[in-house]
């Protein structure tokens, strides 16, 4: 059921049926019906610095505030959206105007939720702070009545891009009466969010956990199933595993343990390793090549380096088989936009050597062709290991490598601010729509000093820019898909960034937990449908 072929109208009824299908496919749904009550304790590795940040703030705040705050629409699968705070929407024929009908509900502090909140969030917050170009193109939001919000974009907004942007984890609607006229970065509500969602914040015990309780006034009758939701912070993976085994924690999302540990835990009768729920929120590991270096500015050199890397070795040995070799900037699992029709670089060190000879970099008297500085980022342990692997294989083809592994702050400064690298090991998240978080790694306007996780390679190609600009406004889904296929083709032909691995995402779940992982970015879903066996 493709949302763009359904017509431009999506009603609550239709979405409800879609939702029922999603539920039917969910694991555990075949067991007896949902039970009400219980406390779900989930574990997360890093305590957030704040529970809400208008700019997103990374996964640690988002995993909490997406249970408390809600978005206009909810993405339940790659091609499925359902109403959340908006009960339905209409799209004008020029795709510049989206009219949302809003639900009647209240904020957790009892004040009514109205179109003014939507106007405030979209126009005053997201349009100013978001890194998403489409949200920045919101021109105005009209509020003819309390239950209607009309969003005007300055350019045509392709339906999929618009809905995916509004359903993104950072696009939560926040209360105008709390935030308007204040300094967003210092608002006390950042540490005690007030939302419309299924769970209310009860307590944030710093250093330990966040406790949320059921919102009795939630607009959807019968939701949430849980009485309480607790997110505990355990930094050490060994301690997380022990907490899981001891039954103190029932759910661990987003690769909580090293590969072999996941296998060991999943072998227990009370635990399951689950790989669903990340279709539009998957991590990739990538290697940026700095084209400011005249050697790397040559396409043949970049391609040679690509040929020298055995991606399957990285997947099998470093990731213990949890993942697959990337073929480009869009992961294979993002079936809506993924295109296999690109240049590929199967492992062939001999060919790599020949390409380098041809490019004018023969092996010199010191046994090297040239020397590069490799910066491996520290946020995943696999990154450093991959850095060591890259050093080995590149030295095999006689490229000298000086590897550096600064800490988090140092890495960000070195790669994305000072551009002090030749090649890197870093990571990206493949968002639902490539225009949200993928294309800016390659486009000229993605080159912004000190803006991390964008184009640090300094690669600039007018042909690629043009394709991306067109995809930003192309409203015909088939033409848009073709444009994005062309983007992947140009990106892989020139490889300023080589995506190495689509990281396999795993949740470890206690068998008492039901109805999990059925949306495409489930970690950031509200978890209102989860229920516990007594």
Beta strand pairing call for 39-44 and 228-233: parallel
- Applying CB under 8 A, among 234, 314, 356, 468 the residue interacting with another protein is 234
Give the DSSP letter of residue 30: T
Site for another protein in 51-80 (CB under 8 A): 53, 55-58
CB atoms within 10 A of CB 189: 18
Tokens of 478: 């088939």
Beta strand pairing call for 251-252 and 39-44: parallel
Site string for another protein, 244-273 (x = CB under 8 A): -xx-x-------------------------
Contact indicator for 189, 200 with CB cutoff of 8 Å: no
Minimum distance from CB of 228 to another protein (Å)? 7
Give the DSSP letter of residue 417: I
- Applying CB under 8 A, among 88, 92, 106, 131 the residue interacting with another protein is 131
Tell me whether residue 140 or residue 448 sits nearer to another protein (CB atom): 448
The reply to whether 211 sits near another protein by the rule CB under 8 A is yes
Minimum distance from CB of 324 to another protein (Å)? 26
- Applying CB under 8 A, among 448, 463, 476, 493 the residue interacting with another protein is 448
**Which range touches another protein (CB under 8 A), out of 85-93, 112-120, 206-214, 337-345?**
206-214
- Applying CB under 8 A, among 31, 180, 450, 463 the residue interacting with another protein is 450
Euclidean distance between CA atoms 396 and 403, whole angstroms: 15
Question: 369: closest CA among 295, 291, 290?
Answer: 295
Q: Residue with structure tokens 């505990």?
A: 232
Using DSSP's 3-state secondary structure scheme, residue 113 falls into coil
- Applying CB under 8 A, among 17, 154, 208, 402 the residue interacting with another protein is 208
Minimum distance from CB of 170 to another protein (Å)? 8
Give the DSSP letter of residue 444: G
Minimum distance from CB of 147 to another protein (Å)? 32
Euclidean distance between CA atoms 158 and 163, whole angstroms: 9
The reply to whether 41 sits near another protein by the rule CB under 8 A is yes
CB atoms within 10 A of CB 223: 19
Site string for another protein, 387-406 (x = CB under 8 A): -------------------x
The reply to whether 466 sits near another protein by the rule CB under 8 A is no
Q: Residue with structure tokens 């590969």?
A: 259
Question: 53: closest CA among 177, 210, 169?
Answer: 169
Site for another protein in 159-198 (CB under 8 A): 185-188, 190-191
Euclidean distance between CA atoms 214 and 225, whole angstroms: 8
**Which range touches another protein (CB under 8 A), out of 234-242, 298-306, 349-357, 456-464?**
234-242
Euclidean distance between CA atoms 9 and 63, whole angstroms: 30
Contact residues for another protein (CB under 8 A)? 39, 41, 46-47, 49-50, 53, 55-58, 129, 131, 185-188, 190-191, 205-209, 211, 228, 230, 232-236, 238-239, 242-243, 245-246, 248, 406-414, 416-417, 440, 448-454
């Amino acid at each position: 059921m493709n949302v763009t072929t359904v017509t431009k109208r999506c009603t609550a009824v239709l979405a409800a049926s879609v939702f029922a299908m999603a539920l039917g496919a969910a694991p555990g749904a075949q067991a007896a019906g949902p039970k009400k009550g219980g406390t779900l304790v989930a574990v997360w590795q890093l305590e957030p610095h704040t529970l809400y940040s208008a700019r997103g703030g990374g996964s640690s705040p988002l995993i909490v505030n997406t249970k408390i705050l809600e978005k206009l629409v909810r993405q339940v699968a790659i091609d499925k959206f359902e109403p959340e705070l908006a009960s339905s929407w209409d799209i004008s024929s020029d795709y510049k105007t989206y009219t949302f009908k809003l639900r009647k509900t209240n904020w957790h502090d009892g004040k009514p939720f109205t179109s003014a909140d939507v106007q405030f969030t979209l126009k005053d917050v997201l349009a100013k702070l978001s890194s998403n170009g489409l949200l920045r193109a919101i021109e105005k939001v009209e509020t003819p009545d309390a239950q209607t919000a009309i969003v005007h974009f300055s350019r045509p907004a392709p339906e999929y891009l618009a809905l995916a942007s509004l359903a993104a984890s950072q696009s939560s609607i926040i209360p105008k009466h709390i935030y308007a006229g204040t300094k967003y970065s210092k608002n006390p509500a950042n540490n005690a969010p007030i939302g419309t969602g299924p769970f209310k914040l009860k307590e944030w015990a710093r250093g330990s956990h966040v406790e949320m309780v059921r919102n009795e006034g939630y607009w959807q009758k019968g939701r949430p199933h849980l009485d309480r939701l607790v997110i505990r912070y355990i930094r050490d993976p060994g301690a997380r595993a022990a907490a899981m085994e001891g039954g103190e924690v029932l759910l661990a999302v987003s690769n909580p343990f090293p590969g072999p540990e996941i296998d060991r835990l999943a072998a227990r009768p009370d635990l399951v390793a689950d790989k669903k729920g990340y279709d539009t929120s998957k991590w990739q590991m990538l290697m940026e090549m700095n084209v400011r270096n005249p050697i790397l500015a040559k396409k043949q050199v970049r391609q040679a380096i690509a040929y020298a890397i055995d991606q399957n070795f990285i997947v099998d040995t470093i990731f213990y088989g949890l993942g697959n070799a990337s073929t480009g900037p869009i992961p294979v699992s993002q079936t809506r936009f993924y295109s296999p029709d690109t240049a590929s670089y199967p492992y062939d060190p001999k060919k790599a050597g020949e390409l380098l000879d041809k490019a004018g970099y023969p092996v010199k008297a010191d046994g090297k062709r040239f020397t590069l500085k490799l910066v491996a980022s520290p946020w995943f342990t696999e990154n450093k290991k991959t850095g060591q692997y890259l050093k080995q294989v590149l030295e095999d083809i006689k490229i000298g490598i000086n590897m550096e592994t600064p800490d988090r702050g140092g890495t960000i400064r070195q790669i994305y601010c000072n551009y002090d690298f030749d090649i890197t090991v870093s990571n990206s998240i493949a968002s639902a729509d490539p225009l949200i978080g993928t294309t800016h790694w390659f486009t000229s306007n993605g080159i912004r000093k000190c803006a991390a996780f964008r184009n640090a390679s300094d690669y600039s190609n007018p042909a690629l820019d043009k394709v991306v600009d067109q995809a930003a406004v192309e409203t015909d889904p088939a033409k848009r898909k073709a444009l994005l296929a062309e983007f992947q083709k140009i990106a892989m032909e020139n490889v300023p960034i080589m995506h190495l691995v689509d990281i396999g995402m795993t949740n470890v779940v206690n068998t008492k937990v039901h109805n999990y992982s059925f949306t495409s970015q489930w970690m950031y879903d509200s978890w209102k449908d989860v229920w516990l066996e007594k």
